[in-house]
Amino acid sequence: MKKFLISTLILAALFGCGKTKQTLKMIEPVDFSHVKISDNFWAPRLKCHAETTLAVCIDQIENKTGRIRNFENAAKGEGVHSGIFFDDSDVYKALEGIAYTLQNNHNPELEKKADEWIDKFAAAQQPDGYINTFYTLTGLENRWKNMDKHEMYCAGHMIEAATAYFQATGKRKLLDVSIRMADYMMSVFGPGKRHWVPGHEEIELALVKLYGVTGNGKYLDLANWLLEERGHGHGSMGGEGTWDPAYYQDDKPVREMTDIAGHAVRSMYLYCGMADVAALRRDTGYVNAMNRLWDDVVLRNMYVTGGIGSSHRNEGFTEDYDLPNYEAYCETCASVGMVYWNWRMNHFTGDSKYIDVLERSMYNGALAGISLAGDRFFYVNPLASKGNHHRKEWYGCACCPSQISRFLPSIGNYIYGISADAIWVNLYTGNTAEIDVNGKTVTLRQETNYPWDGKVTLTVVAASSPLKKSIRLRLPDWCKSYVITVNGKAVTSPTIEKGYAVLDRKWNSGDSIILSLDMPVKVVAADPNVKENIGKRAVRRGPLVYCIEEADNLNDFDRIALSPETVFDTATHPSLPGGITAITATTGSTVFTMIPYYAWDNREPGEMKAWIDYLEQ
């Protein structure tokens, strides 16, 4: 009940408090705290996350690095700062992951650990509200002199952790710390005060979350102001450090942007902040800019895995269609960012194309960032390897492990949406969801072996009265043939709107929908402008991109090729855990095995390719 009341409070703040009374969004998400995942694909991963991944993060933060010690030293006002100047953010992201885990898994010991950390954060806060261990320990006189020192970035991740923990537990100690920090920042920056362009975006979307919890419109105002600061020559003005406007998304005002540039993760956070502010301020100028940017990202700068960012040099972009395989950067954080951004874009439009990209990024680019055992991480996700690229237990710059630790337990967010006239089924994952429809709870159960199988059963488990909303089923872009039945009767020629099958009727308890998505193996070509992949093909099945790994193909790896005559079979892989479906491919006399891209580098070292030579015939 506590979670439900807090969620209601947040929605009330979004729709009834502050200056904004309406939202530009047509769809609202169903919060993951009301979605219990129970399938054979994601449920084991969530269990592994709770038992292993969080333990790895806690061990690294407390014992193997100085991240928590920095807060202890800052509270005492003595000692050195260890690590990188933005390391506070890793602790906040791990705490956010703990908070999300607690929402669906009561764990007193984990909650106790979170409370211990929060006590340390609160003790490290300065009397004026400022909190950042790097400057507290290296000289507060130097704060706010370099826009690329991530002060607002760290504050943003603290705010996100605070709102998540408040929603999970009702405890507001960290929320109060965050409010004091936000109020302090507003005493320094804003109209008539100092200009500021955060070198690493994140604070913008976090302030919108703070507005959502508190209902205080000044936090939304600050988020909007920070977005509007970009592109006017304020970057690094009067401060230290070098400043490349394109790298920092500061070369033009945000509503004039047309092409993604610079650092990939920063771009994703910027677009998320723009989307959040646009929704609440009904700013169609922001939406128009994001539509242009989305076309540029997805049509000209996205890998087949849904990853983005091709260059190691700037952790971002160079020129359109520059998508190398061995040198691909594809930071895990950027793939998670693609999920966050496309989720928001779907809410504006009800267009399934955004969920298509979200799904691709989630199952491939993001999921590859963590090992099957949940204890090792990729920062960089190339699409080919000579056998020298491996996951690590941790990184000096550990943004990706902590990012995955907060992303995985929140995946239930992306399954359902609700609008004035419909329930939207976006992702196919076994779960039971309790959805608030006009103040009454409707319980839906989804059963499926997705992504290995395309059959999905959706049952209205409980509805106190007939549900008078259409149910919209997403038809993925990879599926060209499907069958829908309702209570055993085939639905012929269903209405299709923006990639959703619209099932419009009154729904009663016990009503059942079966969606059968044809899931063949598909050979896909890259855009011909991608020179790297001329003469190559990739293989997809359902939402998954497949690759070849030397561990399965010791004798034939260099000779493997696809052709129009290649025959494909599917079967459970014998040496990979989790019931992974592998593809056996036969081209002439050569037989080879393909595994999902997310599962590579979980065995002995060896080469890997996602784009495979193609023999024209």
Residues noted as catalytic? 315, 399
Tokens 């309406």 belong to 22
Sign of CA dihedral 593, 596, 601, 604: negative
64 CB burial (10 A radius; 0-12, 13-18, 19+)? exposed
Whether the CB-CB separation of 31 and 354 falls below 8 Å is answered with no
Rounded Cα–Cα distance for residues 277 and 19 (Å): 12
**d(C-alpha 332, C-alpha 340), whole Å:** 13
Question: CB atoms < 10 A from the CB of 80, how many?
Answer: 10
Cα 394 to its chain centre, rounded Å, is: 20
Burial class of residue 464 in the structure, from the number of CB atoms within 10 Å of its CB (0-12 exposed, 13-18 middle, 19+ buried): exposed
67-71 long-range Cβ contacts below 8 angstroms, 24+ apart: 67/91, 68/117, 68/120, 70/133, 70/134, 70/137, 71/117, 71/120, 71/121, 71/123, 71/124, 71/133
DSSP 73-84: HHHHT-S---S-
Residues ≥6 apart with Cβ < 8 Å to 547: 383, 594, 595, 596, 597, 600, 608, 609, 610
Decide: residue 549, CB within 10 A, 0-12 exposed, 13-18 middle, 19+ buried: buried
Residue 513 carries which side chain, given as an amino acid letter? I
